[in-house]
């Protein structure tokens, strides 16, 4: 039986890796315009998000300084730091999410034994002991080599509280808050650049109208200053949910351009908020619906961008997709408010296709944050006490990190369709970039779960030479890594391509993610 399974697996791998050129015409075709790179793919598109939610911070990032069982640095797990550094994590958003608009940062500084507790009202009503606070987060970012992105409390805080936080973390001279920081053991400021002015102000951040929030934003943004006028601070307005174009219109219309550097957008790939479905036990119909939601990101960005272009043709204000990802039912037996879900090949495809969309909108999308890094929603890492596993989404983000800060190469795509009954979606997702050393990377996703697809690549302005590739694939869409089988899904060398004249024929297995490198 075991031998049979190995034989079937080997046959699957073989069939999916061989080049079918000669038997089958190219399905999709893509021209890569290597001589037309105009925009840089900001590395911050590959950002992450850590909220005080479930086991993201506690048990995920942070296990406490006194933990003898799990190796840590000042309470932060060493295995997490290593995995995220290997991912080249560029930034981390904190402390929420909905939690941010309940958070009072002064509760999280000073000796831990003296810190007050609070109730985490959005995420299960659990007691938050504030043992992970500003110093813990910002020092952790230094350890990770990631830029911190702080979301301030607009919903239930005060302007003074926010102004004090900025002074506490950024002021280099003598000031009440800088002095307090020094008393708490940190001499030099952290120089935090990214500041989110509340979160989901239309919902958990205060149920505000766009017009009301735009005024509040103006007030808060006025007091988020770096005192030097060096324009180092990026103030990001709480943005629209999905297709709420009115929200973006009002932000762009009512906020003076000298007070705003970015506007957010949140979009989750959810089949149905009332019936999200299992993360691991899903049908092809459900897969299709998830992917339709994921690919909707392109339309959302185009339409929000169109509004921004009308008010800001010079593209001074960035679009920041600071929450995105797949959202399913929690794993059976886990706390419903903790949003712990598994991560399958569906999530790998979702991540690959979404990152391609962000890359292709590099002119305006300058940052994005996958929700959320560890143990929450579409996590890249799952932990169970001292055990840690990397999810398929982690592997995709690592394969794609070659695009960070590379020049986006425009594509001309002639796509084919993935059909599901009378519904259809583009089958191939792609983006390409040229890095500082001249290497070209092409990321391709075969969204179609029913068949292999071939893409015929043509390069304009560069040679199709010295090609190598990696692939993430698995026999079943529902496959995932577990604590018992942590390496079931991991990248492998990809050989499914062949050159013919000035073209490259690339054949990808169903629901797979491929990154090619041309040097």
CA atoms within 13 A on the CB side of 90: 22
CA atoms within 13 A on the CB side of 181: 27
For residue 323, state whether it binds ligand AHR (rule: CB under 6 A): yes
Q: Check 51, 147, 261, 323 and give the catalytic one.
A: 323
The residue among 98 and 345 lying less far from ligand AHR, judged by its C-beta, is 98
**Neighbouring residues of 65: CB distance < 8 A, sequence distance ≥ 6:** 72, 74, 75
Distance of closest approach, residue 70 Cβ to ligand AHR, in angstroms: 25
* Residue 386 among the catalytic residues: no
Distance from the Cα of residue 504 to its chain's centroid:
30
Distance of closest approach, residue 331 Cβ to ligand AHR, in angstroms: 16
Using the contact rule CB under 6 A, the part of the chain among 69-77, 132-140, 370-378, 429-437 near ligand AHR is 370-378
Burial zone of 107 (CB within 10 Å; 0-12 exposed, 13-18 middle, 19+ buried): middle
Using the contact rule CB under 6 A, the part of the chain among 188-196, 344-352, 369-377, 474-482 near ligand AHR is 369-377
For residue 240, state whether it binds ligand AHR (rule: CB under 6 A): no
Distance of closest approach, residue 101 Cβ to ligand AHR, in angstroms: 9
Using the contact rule CB under 6 A, the part of the chain among 27-35, 91-99, 184-192, 273-281 near ligand AHR is 91-99
CA atoms of 202 and 427, how far apart (whole Å): 35
The residue among 28 and 201 lying less far from ligand AHR, judged by its C-beta, is 201
Distance of closest approach, residue 122 Cβ to ligand AHR, in angstroms: 7
* Residue number, nearest CB to ligand AHR: 97
Residues 138-197 that bind ligand AHR (CB under 6 A): none
For residue 98, state whether it binds ligand AHR (rule: CB under 6 A): yes
The residue among 367 and 402 lying less far from ligand AHR, judged by its C-beta, is 367
Q: Which of 130, 199, 354, 391 binds ligand AHR (CB under 6 A)?
A: 199
Q: Which of 96, 133, 326, 509 binds ligand AHR (CB under 6 A)?
A: 96
CA distances from 311 to 243, 256, 304, 314, 502 (A): 18, 10, 11, 9, 43
Query: ω before 177 within 30° of 0 (cis)?
Result: no
Distance of closest approach, residue 276 Cβ to ligand AHR, in angstroms: 13
Using the contact rule CB under 6 A, the part of the chain among 63-71, 96-104, 330-338, 450-458 near ligand AHR is 96-104
For residue 101, state whether it binds ligand AHR (rule: CB under 6 A): no
CA atoms of 474 and 490, how far apart (whole Å): 9
The residue among 97 and 426 lying less far from ligand AHR, judged by its C-beta, is 97
Q: At 88, is the secondary structure helix, strand, or coil?
A: coil
Q: Structure tokens of 232?
A: 């180092």
The residue among 242 and 254 lying less far from ligand AHR, judged by its C-beta, is 242
Distance of closest approach, residue 282 Cβ to ligand AHR, in angstroms: 20
Size of the residue set binding ligand AHR (CB under 6 A): 10
CA distances from 303 to 203, 296, 358, 361 (A): 22, 11, 14, 12
* Residue 200 among the catalytic residues: yes
CA atoms of 443 and 457, how far apart (whole Å): 12
Q: Which sign does the torsion angle of CA 97, 147, 348, 358 carry? A: positive
Q: Which sign does the torsion angle of CA 332, 334, 335, 338 carry? A: negative
The residue among 151 and 453 lying less far from ligand AHR, judged by its C-beta, is 151
The residue among 164 and 323 lying less far from ligand AHR, judged by its C-beta, is 323
For residue 42, state whether it binds ligand AHR (rule: CB under 6 A): no
For residue 200, state whether it binds ligand AHR (rule: CB under 6 A): yes
Extract the runs of DSSP E, i.e. beta strands, from 82-227.
91-94, 118-120, 126-128, 147-152, 194-197
Q: At 381, is the secondary structure helix, strand, or coil?
A: strand
The residue among 248 and 372 lying less far from ligand AHR, judged by its C-beta, is 372
Query: CB of 375 within 8 A of CB of 60?
Result: yes
For 359, phi and psi rounded to 5 degrees? -55, -45
For residue 294, state whether it binds ligand AHR (rule: CB under 6 A): no
Distance of closest approach, residue 294 Cβ to ligand AHR, in angstroms: 16
For residue 261, state whether it binds ligand AHR (rule: CB under 6 A): no
CA atoms of 35 and 399, how far apart (whole Å): 24
What string marks each residue from 45 to 84 as x (binds ligand AHR by CB under 6 A) or -?
Answer: ------x---------------------------------
H-state helical runs in 361-484: 392-400
Q: Check 128, 147, 200, 261 and give the catalytic one.
A: 200
Q: Residue 171's closest CA among 191, 185, 143?
A: 191
What residues act catalytically? 200, 323
Binding site for ligand AHR (CB under 6 A): 51, 96-98, 199-200, 323, 371-372, 377
């Amino acid at each position: 039986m075991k031998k049979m399974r190995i034989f079937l697996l080997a046959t699957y791998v073989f069939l999916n890796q061989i080049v079918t050129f000669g038997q089958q015409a190219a399905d999709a075709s893509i021209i890569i315009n290597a001589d037309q790179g105009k925009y840089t793919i900001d590395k911050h598109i590959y950002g992450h998000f850590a909220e005080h939610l479930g086991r993201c911070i506690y048990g995920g990032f942070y296990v406490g300084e006194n933990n003898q069982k799990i190796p840590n640095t000042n309470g932060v797990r060493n295995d997490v730091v290593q995995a995220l550094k290997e991912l080249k994590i560029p930034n981390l958003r904190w402390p929420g999410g909905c939690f941010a608009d309940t958070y009072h940062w002064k509760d999280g500084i000073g000796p831990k034994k003296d810190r007050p507790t609070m109730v985490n009202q959005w995420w299960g009503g659990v007691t938050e002991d504030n043992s992970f606070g500003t110093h813990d987060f910002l020092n952790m970012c230094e350890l990770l080599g990631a830029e911190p992105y702080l979301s301030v409390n607009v919903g239930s805080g005060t302007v003074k509280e926010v102004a004090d936080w900025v002074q506490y973390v950024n002021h280099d001279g003598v000031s009440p808050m800088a002095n307090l920081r020094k008393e708490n053991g940190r001499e030099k400021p952290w120089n935090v650049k990214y500041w989110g002015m509340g979160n989901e102000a239309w919902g958990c951040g205060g149920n505000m109208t766009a017009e009301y929030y735009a005024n509040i934003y103006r007030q808060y943004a006025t007091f988020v200053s770096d005192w030097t006028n060096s324009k180092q601070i990026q103030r990001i307005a709480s943005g629209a949910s999905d297709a709420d174009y009115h929200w973006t219109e009002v932000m762009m219309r009512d906020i003076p351009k000298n007070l705003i550097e970015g506007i957010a957008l949140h979009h989750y790939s959810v089949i149905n908020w009332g019936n999200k479905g299992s993360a691991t036990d899903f049908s092809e119909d459900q897969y299709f619906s998830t992917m339709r939601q994921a690919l909707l990101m392109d339309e959302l960005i185009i339409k929000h961008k169109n509004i921004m272009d009308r008010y800001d043709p010079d593209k001074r204000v960035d679009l920041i997709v600071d929450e995105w990802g797949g959202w399913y039912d929690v794993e059976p037996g886990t706390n419903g408010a903790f949003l712990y879900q598994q991560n399958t090949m569906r999530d790998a495809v979702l991540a690959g296709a979404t990152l391609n969309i962000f890359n292709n909108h590099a002119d305006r999308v300058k940052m994005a944050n996958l929700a959320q890094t560890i143990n929450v929603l579409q996590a890249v890492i799952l932990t169970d006490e001292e055990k840690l596993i990397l999810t398929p989404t982690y592997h995709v983000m690592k394969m794609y990190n070659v695009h960070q800060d590379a020049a986006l190469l425009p594509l001309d795509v002639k796509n084919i369709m993935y059909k599901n009954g009378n519904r259809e979606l583009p089958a191939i997702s792609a983006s390409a970039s040229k890095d500082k050393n001249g290497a070209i990377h092409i990321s391709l996703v075969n969204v179609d779960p029913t068949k292999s697809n071939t893409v015929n690549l043509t390069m304009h302005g560069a040679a199709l030479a010295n090609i190598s590739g990696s692939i993430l694939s698995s026999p079943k869409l529902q496959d995932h890594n577990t604590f018992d089988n942590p390496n079931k899904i991991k990248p492998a060398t990809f050989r499914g391509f062949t050159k013919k004249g000035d073209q490259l024929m690339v054949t990808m297995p169903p629901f797979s993610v491929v990154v090619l490198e041309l040097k």
